Structure 1
Amino acid sequence: MLLRCANVGSLLLASNALRNVAKMSAAAFEVDPEYPGTAIGRMRASVERAKSLTADELSVEWEDARKRHLLLWAAGLRDLTDVPPGQGYTGHAFNDYNHCDATCMLGDVAHNLNDGQDRVAGIAVNNRLGPGIERASLPELGVGGSWSTCTNGCNREPPRDVAHVQFRSRVAFKLVWCPPTFASFVLVDDAGGLLCSGTPRGALPALRERQANFDVVRGSKDQNNNTAFC
């Protein structure tokens, strides 16, 4: 009887594992017709991670909120500060005014460059991020890679930021610091819907960075939808 129960338990575990693999495989074949570079399954997993974060979890020391299984974890990024910028360094992720979009893109799309006539204004030509994305992305979040892409241009319609133009991808979430004190932030999804919020303490990004972060999204759906949340 014990052996039979053990076998049934093993079969259930195997069945659940196969079901999860099937879900990931199905998501890998989904295509967003408007932004076909989106790693849809990975983006959904990132959104769910962000939704799971509580205000209490995010209202701690800023570096704890940013790094230790919270913002970087939700984005599907490793905490890498011992590698050069462009090679997977994530010390800047969600830590200045601009690198605040958690973007989940397909693996081949991660090597897209900011070039040609349709490129993001104010971003370096080429902007080669692929090798760093591969190194910094947590594999358990699903197919594709993650990066904290630049938000400038998000106040255009349609958005003209790195996620939507260079990578042809939606964002899983965007970090927006809230006026008038810029002491609290919200995470919002690609449509501007609220996912979570926090009021961290300690060594926050400089006030001018937090103010500039809000200025970048001013006039966008993210600002229009979330002023009430701040």
Structure 2
Amino acid sequence: MRFSSRSLIFSLTASGCIGLRCFSYGIASNYSQNSAYILSASGAIHNLAEDSASSSSSSRLFSSASPTSEMPVDPEYPGTAVERMLAVRSRVANLTQEELNANWEDVRRKLLWAGGLKDLPTAIPGQGYTGHSFNDYNHVDLTCMLDEVSYNQNDGTVQQIARGNLLGPGIRIASLPELGPGGSWSTCANGCNKDPPQDVAHIQFRSRIAYKLVWCPTEKFDTFVLVDDDGKELTRGTPTGNLPRIMERQANYRIVMGSKYATAADEIAKSMSTSATN
């Protein structure tokens, strides 16, 4: 994973914290308060407050001794490519409203790019094809998984998904390398309304999602919201042009209805309805 000389800074809040540990040190740390962390060019993650208070190496969350030994791991979902997931959310945070309210195909390409995926609408399905991504009700979970789990298959645990469901070759072809180790894919969201989620990301790949696209239950279902693994809003948009079919957008909301992933969409729809009546 390469970065410029400037480091990337992420703010991890209590509502969106991720428990991380390091392979080489066996450290588990829950970010229980609003703290700033810095991801250095070598891949090391440092707590800025702790580093400023102490110059000792023990103040670091991860040592910079070896890039391979310091890869952050999510103990609950160890298949998550954590660095890549955070890089995706950083790209999402930098998308402008102009970009998110543009023609749908342009918006969709931006969502692919932010998620670390190539726009490959003419590729063979199973060999990197991403023309379906965000274009139906189901392929809306942008998942960042480690290389070693990308060839995992569905053993039948994920309902309404074919047994096998081998996605590894397509993930390898379609993933943009600059966002870090692992790969990206727009996985099926079926089962995400259960607690814990029983979808492809969480079961087949043992991975959190970087973001989920949810169409809000407004009158026209023409506004979407991107939410993180905890259901917190990352951004939203109201694109123009040829959107996915209305039946797909409505079905997309139905598969999250009643779950944490529907909360932001419900709030947006309620707010828009109130504004329309005033």
CA distance in 2, matches of 1:27, 1:64: 39
1:94 paired residue among 129, 134, 137? 134
CA distance in 2, matches of 1:203, 1:163: 28
CA distance in 2, matches of 1:59, 1:127: 33
3-state DSSP class of the match of 1:209? helix
**Residues 43 and 70 of structure 2 are in contact (CA less than 8 Å); yes or no, is this contact kept in structure 1?**
no
Aligned to 1:162: 200
Aligned to 1:210: 249
Code of the residue aligned with 2:148 in structure 1: it is D
1:176 paired residue among 205, 208, 214? 214
Q: Structure 1 stretch 53-62 or stretch 142-151: which is displaced more?
A: 53-62
**1:229 Cα offset (Å):** 2.8
In structure 2, the CA distance between the partners of 1:79 and 1:157, relative to structure 1 (3 Å rule), is same
In structure 2, the CA distance between the partners of 1:131 and 1:220, relative to structure 1 (3 Å rule), is same
In structure 2, the CA distance between the partners of 1:108 and 1:55, relative to structure 1 (3 Å rule), is same
3-state DSSP class of the match of 2:147? coil
3-state DSSP class of the match of 1:154? coil
**1:21 Cα offset (Å):** 2.7
1:36 paired residue among 78, 88, 94? 78
So what's the TM-score if we normalise by structure 2?
Answer: 0.73
Code of the residue aligned with 1:179 in structure 2: it is P
CA distance in 2, matches of 1:50, 1:16: 18
Task: Report Cα offsets for 1:89-112 as digits up to 9, x if no partner.
Answer: 000001110000000000011000
Task: Report Cα offsets for 1:41-74 as digits up to 9, x if no partner.
Answer: 000001111111122211011001111xx10011
Aligned to 2:261: 222
What are the within-5 Å matches in structure 2 for residues 42-191 of structure 1? 42-67=84-109, 70-115=110-155, 119-180=157-218, 181-191=220-230
The unaligned stretches of length 5 or more in structure 2 are 9-38, 46-66, 270-278
3-state DSSP class of the match of 1:20? coil
CA distance in 1, matches of 2:6, 2:230: 35
Which structure carries more relative contact order (alpha carbon 8 Å, separation 6+)? 1
**Residues 47 and 173 of structure 1 are in contact (CA less than 8 Å); yes or no, is this contact kept in structure 2?**
yes
What are the within-5 Å matches in structure 2 for residues 190-205 of structure 1? 190-205=229-244
CA distance in 1, matches of 2:224, 2:258: 17
Give the fraction of aligned pairs with identical amino acids, expressed as a percent: 57
Task: Report Cα offsets for 1:153-201 as digits up to 9, x if no partner.
Answer: 0000000000000000000000000112211000000001111110001
Instruction: Give the number of the structure whose residues are more often strand, by fraction.
Output: 2
Code of the residue aligned with 2:81 in structure 1: it is A
**Residues 27 and 40 of structure 1 are in contact (CA less than 8 Å); yes or no, is this contact kept in structure 2?**
no
CA distance in 2, matches of 1:112, 1:56: 38
CA distance in 1, matches of 2:175, 2:130: 10
**1:82 Cα offset (Å):** 2.3
Aligned to 1:21: 42
The unaligned stretches of length 5 or more in structure 1 are 1-12
**1:23 Cα offset (Å):** 3.4
3-state DSSP class of the match of 2:169? helix
3-state DSSP class of the match of 1:111? coil
**Residues 215 and 221 of structure 2 are in contact (CA less than 8 Å); yes or no, is this contact kept in structure 1?**
yes
CA distance in 2, matches of 1:111, 1:159: 20
Tell me how large the CA RMSD over aligned residues is: 2.1
CA distance in 1, matches of 2:70, 2:209: 17
Instruction: Give the number of the structure whose residues are more often helix, by fraction.
Output: 1
Code of the residue aligned with 2:93 in structure 1: it is K
**1:15 Cα offset (Å):** 8.6
**Residues 27 and 41 of structure 1 are in contact (CA less than 8 Å); yes or no, is this contact kept in structure 2?**
no
Code of the residue aligned with 1:52 in structure 2: it is N
Residues matched between the structures, number: 214
Code of the residue aligned with 1:22 in structure 2: it is G
